Structure 1
């Protein structure tokens, strides 16, 4: 499979809710083709209320317009579960490049004292009830959509629709509210986010402006602009490993950030202690396992420790190291 796509495919997923198994399978087959041939797709027909997006955008604009001193009251380094404000320069990806953005990270909001796994617990919220309400409502709705897509991807792989359900009891999926500020002096090749693959199983993304690019099998960058009424979905490291490369985690980046842009990626994953290794359905003598056995949450934790400055002490002490991802990978 060459994967030399020139445009990002679109899949209407309304049929995933049909009582007719044939309708559900038709959608799943389309999801599977996109996941195999591009690793990136637009999903339409998802049924989410657009008010969820407009409310979150308004809350984000209000929050990021504050002085830095106010935003740092919710600095991520003050949290117990990797949530809160991420200033520009906090994230340093391999190669030492600093992305031109700021963000607010939100996880599954659990009660204080719930320490079932690293980086899980109560979110650190800003002193803005409107922001908390908008972000929590969006997180809940997109979580439900992610669960539907897990079912669709399972069918696409020839597995039972509920194949992932046992691993979705308390997943540490993360929502990032990202702001790319207006920069009239941005160079044409200046990055907003450097080339990388996503750590988790898949990502659901809404963005307000162009800038996202996807690398195809020729090593060319393909534009992936916002499409009204659709989310961008891309395959992550964990689903690539689970399927032994049947689905591909495609490298992507955000280019020149001259235009102000907001982006809301939701990184859908399985429970922290989920063991990820190539599924037997995709392993044979002709196609041996290409990926190591790992713990889903440990992979996420290792990548996070390697990236965030406030975790540098953990980086020096931890035995966890990233397994793969975070590179411009030609598929």
Structure 2
């Protein structure tokens, strides 16, 4: 992407209600806006999504109750003790950049899959049931929210298909049992925080992300290297979601939809953040779509990539418990693993290496 074409100073806002209309031209009109925002910014707000505010309120209440529990209780659900890479993530478990560990904790929920599912029986990483905490109302509230926001992700994926000149259902068969994770993230009050990075700059591994947050802190990098604030946004009383392009859509479009680097600034106030990372099925292998693969530009630098292997290798380089297993020889990274930060219009693609 040539310098100067993504020097945005704010995120666009797109009303996606047209994606739910019967008239194809209305759906295409929204898709065109999604495509333009993906090319020119990589981050944008959506309204008209139809998510019930009560579901959002229930998710927030459940999250506050969870993170208010004592640490020994929360560590009963430690992500490193559970199959499928789900559960509680204590402060310092994730490392995106050097320096002081991120002052945050999280609880990771995935696409619910029973123990007798073929992918679970085959030992597929990132796939399995959730480690639900014994907390009244938690599972019901979080499950309802997950189902609603995942359905919203399906709607957006149909919109992206139209934006890319594909049939509206072109990607439907790629999303049947995906490693799509919902994260409940809590940033406690930090009176020592300064106006500096919290979560290090990174791109998201999946196709795209749907985010709700209750406080500022998110920053997005434009092509001039400037950090642009992306605070919570409401339009006519409706909370907007922040949508950002991930690594997988960058591959599918050979960089036309670049994954955009972002970070969370360290802030003093308490903050809750809820990203849903929308992915295709684990064994899906993606490559640039024909109109990009056969064109000019960067198509040649994008080879075929396994979605699941990419996501798992990135996690193995980010989560402390997985890094320890790799170092001990208990786990092996894919031979095609890339280093974190290998995508995005500001960074080259580089192998993880030894």
TM-score of the two chains, using structure 1 as the length reference: 0.96
Counterpart CA distance in 2 for 1:324 and 1:306 is 8
Counterpart CA distance in 2 for 1:328 and 1:118 is 22
Deviation, 1:98, is 2.0
Question: Secondary structure in 2 aligned to 1:192?
Answer: strand
Q: Paired residue for 1:248? A: 258
Work out whether 1:111 is the aligned partner of 2:117: no
Deviation, 1:174, is 0.3
Question: Secondary structure in 2 aligned to 1:205?
Answer: strand
Q: Paired residue for 1:128? A: 135
Counterpart CA distance in 2 for 1:197 and 1:238 is 11
Deviation, 1:314, is 3.4
Question: Secondary structure in 2 aligned to 1:19?
Answer: coil
Counterpart CA distance in 2 for 1:254 and 1:124 is 27
Work out whether 1:71 is the aligned partner of 2:74: yes
Q: Paired residue for 2:205? A: 199
Counterpart CA distance in 1 for 2:295 and 2:152 is 36
Aligned pair in 2 of structure 1 residues 16, 256: CA closer, same or farther (>3 Å)?
same
Once the two structures are superposed, the pairs formed by residues 223-262 of structure 1 within 5 Å of their partners are 223-228=229-234, 229-262=239-272
Per-residue CA shift, 1:210-248, capped at 9, x if unaligned? 000000111100010001221000000011011111111
Number of equivalent positions: 330
Work out whether 1:148 is the aligned partner of 2:155: yes
Counterpart CA distance in 1 for 2:296 and 2:276 is 35
Which of 267, 270, 283 in structure 2 is aligned with 1:273?
Answer: 283
Which of 198, 214, 217 in structure 1 is aligned with 2:223?
Answer: 217
Runs of 5+ consecutive residues of structure 2 not aligned to the other structure: 347-354
Runs of 5+ consecutive residues of structure 1 not aligned to the other structure: none
Per-residue CA shift, 1:127-176, capped at 9, x if unaligned? 11411111111111111000000000010011111111110111110000
Counterpart CA distance in 1 for 2:295 and 2:107 is 46
Counterpart CA distance in 1 for 2:45 and 2:189 is 26
Q: Paired residue for 2:350? A: none
Deviation, 1:286, is 2.5
TM-score of the two chains, using structure 2 as the length reference: 0.90
Verify the 8 A CA contact 1:201 1:268 in the aligned structure 2. Answer: yes
Once the two structures are superposed, the pairs formed by residues 25-44 of structure 1 within 5 Å of their partners are 25-44=28-47
Counterpart CA distance in 2 for 1:23 and 1:144 is 19
Question: Secondary structure in 1 aligned to 2:137?
Answer: helix
Q: Paired residue for 2:341? A: 326
